[in-house]
Each structure stands twice: as C-alpha cells, then as structure tokens.
Chain A
Amino acid sequence: EDQVTQSPEALRLQEGESSSLNCSYTVSGLRGLFWYRQDPGKGPEFLFTLYSAGEEKEKERLKATLTKKESFLHITAPKPEDSATYLCAVQKNTGFQKLVFGTGTRLLVSP
C-alpha cells in the first residue's frame, strides 16, 4: 500500500536554529515528490519538485533533498515567518494526477 509519513508531527524552533523535516515514502514507481508550505486557512503554496534520488533544490532558507526512500526539507537559520505546516506529496508513474499527501509537519519558529 502506498504510504507517505512525515516527521516530526510538530516542531518548535528558536529563530536561527536550523533543523530538518522528514518525508518517508513507500510507493511503487515514484514519478515525483513535491513540497508545499501551508499557512492556516490558506491553500498550499508550492515550494519544490524532486524527481530523482540525489536531486537537491534550494530556495532562500530552504533546501530539499531526495533519496530512494525519503526526502528532507532542511531549514537553515529559520525566521518566525517560516512558521507554517509543511506538506510533502508523492506522485506515482501510474495515476500520476493523484497525489499521495503526508500528514504534514507543523513548524513554529519563535523569535
């Protein structure tokens, strides 16, 4: 059965305290993995797409990496405005329009 697990469920950081969020997946035939950021009551905001193991993408304080079993979202020197829920979603080769979402990591960055 396809499964996407995100950890931790919630993470509290001090401003400037770097950390990583994990997205583990078990799917047959990975086509792509997406990271989204979601603020309360808003729609998910697209961050990154990763297609193959070893790939890395960066944007400001965020860096996403992909292996054959998991993806990491590294947050370097976070700021309070980075507080949000971070979702990963996996896309399969078959039925690629149906994303399998993880349950998200709620990040709170305190000043």
Chain B
Amino acid sequence: DTEVTQTPKHLVMGMTNKKSLKCEQHMGHRAMYWYKQKAKKPPELMFVYSYEKLSINESVPSRFSPECPNSSLLNLHLHALQPEDSALYLCASSQAGGTEAFFGQGTRLTVV
C-alpha cells in the first residue's frame, strides 16, 4: 500500500476563516511533508516532520500552522489566509532516511 490520503479534496475559505487540511499514511513512514504547488510550477516545500517533530520550516508565514499528532497523521491549520495562498496543497511521506516520497492527491484550496 503506497497511499497517502488527503482531505478535503477541495476547500473554499474566506480570509477570516479557520480551516484544517488533513493527511494520513499507513506505510510506516516516519517523515511527512507539506508542499504548496501553484499552477504550472513545481511543488515548493513548506514543512517537514521527522519522527513527529518539526525538522524543517521553510520560512512559512505563521498563518500556516502544521501539526503531527502521531506517526500516521499530519495536519495543516489555516487562519487568516490571503487570496495569493490559493494553490494545491500536497502532503507526502517517506522513510525517515530520505528515500522516495509518496504524495497524496492534494487539496485544492481557494481563498476568497
């Protein structure tokens, strides 16, 4: 099973809303990632969790708040977003030693 599941698939939120994106994997991976992807651009790394601890934050604005409740789950809490934050948000997981990463299908986020 090489599946990473993301919910919801689509999300529309206002600039004053608070919402969360969720990601789950059951591959026993101990590294989990959040990426942001704009149209016709490659994915951009936002956060990395390794063994449930935040190991990389790519200077992401504080309106994005990641959380890793356990080794299978990864959340991204969103608050006071801007229209330019509209994008495809991708979750991925890999072995902690840095083997290939497997991506979820993404959440298409629109901020209005």
Contact = CB atoms under 8 A, between A and B. Distances in A.
B98 A46 contact: no
Contacts of A49: 99-100
A64 to B, nearest CB: 12
Given A97-B50, A97-B98, A87 B103 contact: no
A73 B33 CA distance: 26
B102 interface: yes
B103 A44 contact: yes
Chain B's interface size range is 20 to 34
A71 B110 CA distance: 35
B67 to A, nearest CB: 18
Contacts, number: 56
B103 to A, nearest CB: 4
Contacts of A87: 42-43
A104 interface: yes
28 contacts: A32-B98, A32-B100, A34-B101, A41-B106, A42-B105, A43-B4, A43-B6, A43-B103, A43-B104, A43-B105, A43-B106, A44-B103, A45-B103, A46-B100, A46-B101, A46-B102, A46-B103, A49-B99, A49-B100, A87-B43, A96-B98, A97-B33, A97-B50, A97-B55, A99-B45, A99-B101, A101-B42, A104-B42
Interface of B: 2, 4, 6, 31, 33, 41-43, 45, 48, 50, 55-56, 88, 90, 92, 94, 98-106, 108
Interface of A: 31-32, 34, 36, 41-46, 49, 87, 89, 91, 96-99, 101-104
